[in-house]
Every structure is written in structure tokens, then in C-alpha cells.
Chains A and B, each alone.
Chain A
Amino acid sequence: AQSVAQPEDQVNVAEGNPLTVKCTYSVSGNPYLFWYVQYPNRGLQFLLKYITGDNLVKGSYGFEAEFNKSQTSFHLKKPSALVSDSALYFCAVRDKGGSYIPTFGRGTSLIVHP
């Protein structure tokens, strides 16, 4: 079975400060990992993914994520937050050798204060 945990329901950060949204996962094999963002009344938008290779993955809008196999984590980061980054963020995982369907975390609401 595969699972994803986003331990924080909400993250608050001041504009200009670095942000981190946490994600840990569990799969029986090797993972494919994804981050999506959802703005109010919209569908999810793909931000970035880890398949293999470099543990630091760069994505859209200045976001990046670091894959840590030993800690089974895939935290989303951005060096300098913008008010417009305020949204709901979802982490998702697929097991390379397992289910084709991704498992999503429950989401983390990011609030960036001016």
C-alpha cells in the first residue's frame, strides 16, 4: 500500500521569507513523487515531480522540492514567498512497481502574509 502524509494543515509565512511545506510518503518500492497546487475554485495544477536522479527538483513558479530517501520525505520549498503563493498544496506518490493511481495527501493550506 502507498500513503502520503502532510503533517501541517496550514503553514503561515511572511512575504519574502522562505517557505517549506512538508510531505512524507510510504511505498513498498521506489516512489514517483509529485506536488500540485490548487487555487480557490480551481482544479489542481502540476508544480513538479521526482522520478529519478538529482534529489533536488525544480518546478514552476520558483518552487523546488528535495527528495530524501532515508527520511522518506519530499518537502516543497521556495526561497522567497509571494502573497500570490497562497493556495492549497498537495503532495502525491505512486509506487513505481505498484498502483498506477496516485495517492494524494490531505493538502496543506499555505498563507503568505504581506
Chain B
Amino acid sequence: GQSLEQPSEVTAVEGAIVQINCTYQTSGFYGLSWYQQHDGGAPTFLSYNALDGLEETGRFSSFLSRSDSYGYLLLQELQMKDSASYFCASNAGNNRKLIWGLGTSLAVNP
């Protein structure tokens, strides 16, 4: 089957750095995406990795290792507004369907 695994909850303090890992098992892997979702809102695109390595976008970075079927989202200089759910998702076929992880709830405390 196809699945993406990520931790269910992470807690950190303001100003800290947090890493959310995602391991995947998919057929026909095309790339790994990361989305942020606040309560009551729709997912917002954060980052995408098609190739191995690190992608940096401001305070957020994402890493992919295709050989390890593993990726992570790195959030730096955490702010209270970063408290949200974070999902990894994989485009695993030419039908463009996204396979979603179960999400990681991040709580940023003062």
C-alpha cells in the first residue's frame, strides 16, 4: 500500500527549531510536499522536494532523501502563529492524486 508516516504531535517553545519527519512508502514516487493547516482553515502549501537535498524558504526548510524514503520539514525561529497541523503529502502517480500523511500537530508555547 501507499502510506506516509509522521509524528502525531510535537511541542516546542517560541524561538526554537523543530523538525517534523516523514517516511513514506509509495509506488511511483514523484516528490514530497509539505502543507500547513490552521484550525478551521484549508491547507497552505509550504514546500516541495522532487530531488534529494534541502529546499529553503524563509524560516521553513524541507529535506528529501529518496534513497531513504524520508523527508523532513524544519521550522526555525518558531512563532506562536506556527501552531498548526503540518502534513506531508506525496504525488505518487500520473493521475496527480496526493497521498497524505496523518498530520503533525505542532504546539508552540511561550
Q: Do A and B come from one complex?
A: no
